[in-house]
Amino acid sequence: MAQIDALPPLREVIATHGLSAKKALGQNFLLDLNLTAKIARQAGDLSGCDVLEIGPGPGGLTRGLLAEGARKVLAVEKDARCLPALAEIADAYPGRLDVINDDALAINPLAYLTPPIRIAANLPYNIGTELLVRWLTPDIWPPVWESLTLMFQREVAQRIVAPPGSKSYGRLAILAQWRCDARIVMDLPPEAFVPAPKVKSAVVHLTRLPAPRFEADAAVLSRVVAAAFNQRRKMLRSSLKGLHPDIETLLVSAGISPTERAEQIGLEQFCALARAFAKA
């Protein structure tokens, strides 16, 4: 196996620093540095980019990102036990790794970085969707980041890339695909992690589009999509009736049959509906 850097193997790092995995922090570590370098490569050309990593843990992906040429990595880690291991990586890559010991949900680390910015992470599963939704809903578009390369439970990854008509299609697919290209770039079995989680995982790569695929007000689109998928088995004339007194006319004006269900409606139609609501 090729060495990616001169630092000790991750099993040794974990033993030296007593990093027994904590379930409450979603700690499932990647210990194969060739695998973490491969994930880092999925993030695109890192040279000349600042990279935000959430949850570096013992630093396997961090080392991959640095070895793949990131200009700078800013890593946000809640577990203070990981700091000595991360300090060793910072010493091996002078001036290229900064670590913030905090809860990623409590701060805005993007404010500390210089564009171009990419985000890459093997996310703690309990906060992954919340962070993704935050990154996908900035105040203005395009956002400050170029791309997101993120590990999720495979079932969540499928919800992000799902096409209309599929079982996984819903709010997350629309939110992600409205303003990004989203694809699953790697599948990982539970055994890739220590300890092995119960579920399969996948890496999703999202590239921001310069502008939304179809025009719509973000808040209106979000409200319509939320109401439509809250009752996904119902016809739209019924699931959306609380949003407008004459929902049937509004649906027809957006080119949608009132008897269709949310899961059959594509992005373009949802955006047309959001525009009709905004005008009504």
x/- map, 82-111, ligand SAM, by CB under 6 A: x--------------------xxx------
Strand order in the sheet with 72-76: 97-100, 72-76, 50-54, 117-122, 145-153, 201-208, 180-188
**Residues 74/78/81/82 CA torsion (nearest 10 deg):** -30
Q: Is 55 annotated as a binding residue?
A: yes
Q: Is 28 annotated as a binding residue?
A: yes
Both tokens of 267, joined, read 């992005």
Q: Which residue has the tokens 């890339």?
A: 161
Question: Least separation, in Å, of the C-beta of 2 and ligand SAM?
Answer: 19
Q: Which residue has the tokens 């196996």?
A: 1
**Residue 4 interacts with ligand SAM (CB under 6 A)?**
no
C-beta of 60 vs 170, nearer to ligand SAM: 60
C-beta of 123 vs 274, nearer to ligand SAM: 123
**Residue 79 interacts with ligand SAM (CB under 6 A)?**
yes
**Residue 78 interacts with ligand SAM (CB under 6 A)?**
yes
Q: Which residues pair with 206 in a beta bridge?
A: 148, 182
β 201-208/145-153 pair status: antiparallel
**Residue 64 interacts with ligand SAM (CB under 6 A)?**
no
Both tokens of 5, joined, read 């850097």
Alpha-carbon gap, residue 82 to 236, rounded angstroms:
49
Which member of 50, 68, 77, 263 binds ligand SAM (CB under 6 A)? 77
**Residue 54 interacts with ligand SAM (CB under 6 A)?**
yes
Q: Is 181 annotated as a binding residue?
A: no
Q: Please give the DSSP secondary-structure letter assigned to residue 140.
A: S
Question: Least separation, in Å, of the C-beta of 40 and ligand SAM?
Answer: 11
Contact 234, 200 (CB under 8 A): no
User: What residues from 115 to 174 belong to the interface with ligand SAM (CB under 6 A)?
Assistant: 122, 124, 127
Which member of 56, 90, 161, 267 binds ligand SAM (CB under 6 A)? 56
Which member of 49, 61, 66, 204 binds ligand SAM (CB under 6 A)? 61
**Residue 29 interacts with ligand SAM (CB under 6 A)?**
yes
Find all residues with CB under 8 Å of 186, minimum gap 6, and list them.
38, 39, 42, 202, 203
Alpha-carbon gap, residue 120 to 69, rounded angstroms:
14
Question: Least separation, in Å, of the C-beta of 122 and ligand SAM?
Answer: 3
Which member of 7, 13, 28, 147 binds ligand SAM (CB under 6 A)? 28
Alpha-carbon gap, residue 91 to 11, rounded angstroms:
19
Q: Please give the DSSP secondary-structure letter assigned to residue 191.
A: G
Q: Is 122 annotated as a binding residue?
A: yes
Binding residue numbers for S-adenosyl-L-methionine: 28, 30, 55, 77, 103, 122
Binding residue numbers: 28, 30, 55, 77, 103, 122
User: Which residues are near ligand SAM by CB under 6 A?
Assistant: 25-30, 54-57, 60-61, 76-79, 82, 103-105, 122, 124, 127
